[in-house]
Amino acid sequence: MSGLDDRRLYLITDARDGLTRLLERAIAGGVEVVQVRDKALPDALLLPRLEAAREVAASYGVPFVVNDRPDLARLVGADFVHVGQDDLPVEAARTFAIAVGQSTHAEAEIARTTADYIGVGPVFATPTKQGRAPVGLALVQYAAKSARCPWFAIGGIDLDTIDEVLEAGATRVAVVRAIVESSEPESAARALYSRIELFGDGA
């Protein structure tokens, strides 16, 4: 699975206990791409959780992304590895024979990336990216006009902020806390997806 053109709601989560249940509920609510990002677990514990998450995603036909680690992404049969600006370069990650997504935080990074898709943000301040200043809606507007690959707005996006992001030109969003921290991840995903659909229909 490769193309993300028709994928609109992207979930990023750590490899927490209950991961597979979370993914099942989130996908049932409308999540169309799943990334596992966990910098705390040692590889021996992370690998089986990635494998289990990959199985869930594959069973629903949802692209699966591993953060930072092309080696583990390749081992578990992920569809993508996602890298940051200071991680392994995109072309180096591709030597693992896997598609690559990349985080971008500035116009120049969007312009020069060769990734298969990009994240644009953080749009708003978020504790998942402490120390990184938000890029604001201007970069979303730039990406809407200039990005050459599928892109997802990310960073502090929830039901209170998603309309602003969609109005700025985003057609795809990535979220963490809006779903992961919800007591009802399926309902949370459905509510977010409904906003994206509404704007896609010309709200």
Does the domain spanning 9-200 belong to CATH 3.40.30.10?
no
DSSP assignment of 6-58 equals T--EEEEE---TTHHHHHHHHHHHT--EEEE--SSS-HHHHHHHHHHHHHHHH
User: Mean pLDDT, to the nearest integer, of 130-142?
Assistant: 90
Residue 9's pLDDT band, with cuts at 50, 70 and 90, is: very high
Rounded to the nearest 10 degrees, the angle between the axes of helix 19-29 and helix 185-200 is: 30
Residue-level pLDDT at 112: 97
The whole-number pLDDT of residue 185 equals 98
Segment 79-102 shows an average pLDDT of: 97
* pLDDT given for residue 196 in this prediction: 97
Residues 6+ apart with CB under 8 A from 24: 56, 60
Tell me how far apart the alpha carbons of residues 98 and 69 are, in angstroms, rounded to a whole number: 11
Give 123's DSSP letter: S
- Domain assignments of the chain as residue spans, ordered by start: 9-200
Entry pTM: 0.95
Residues 68-87: tens digit of each pLDDT = 999 999 999 999 999 999 99
Question: With 60 as the cut, is the pLDDT of residue 203 above it?
Answer: no
Reduced to 3 states (helix: H, G, I; strand: E, B; else coil), residue 87 is coil
- Contact 68/82 with Cβ under 8 angstroms? yes
What is the reported pLDDT for 1? 40
Mean pLDDT of 108-119: 98
Residue 164 has pLDDT above 70, yes or no: yes
* pLDDT over 90 (residue 66): yes
Percentage of the chain surpassing pLDDT 90?
Answer: 92
- DSSP annotation string for 137-159: HHHHHHHHHH-SS-EEEESS-ST
**What would the pLDDT profile of 192-202 be if each residue is shown by its tens digit?**
999 999 997 65
Can you tell me the mean pLDDT for 139-157?
A: 98
Q: So what's the pLDDT on residue 127?
A: 80
Share of the chain above pLDDT 70, in %: 96
Of 115, 84, 85, nearest to 98 (Cα)? 115
Determine the average pLDDT of the residues in 120-140: 88
Residues 6+ positions from 12 with CB-CB distance below 8 Å: 35, 36, 37, 67, 128, 154, 174, 175, 176
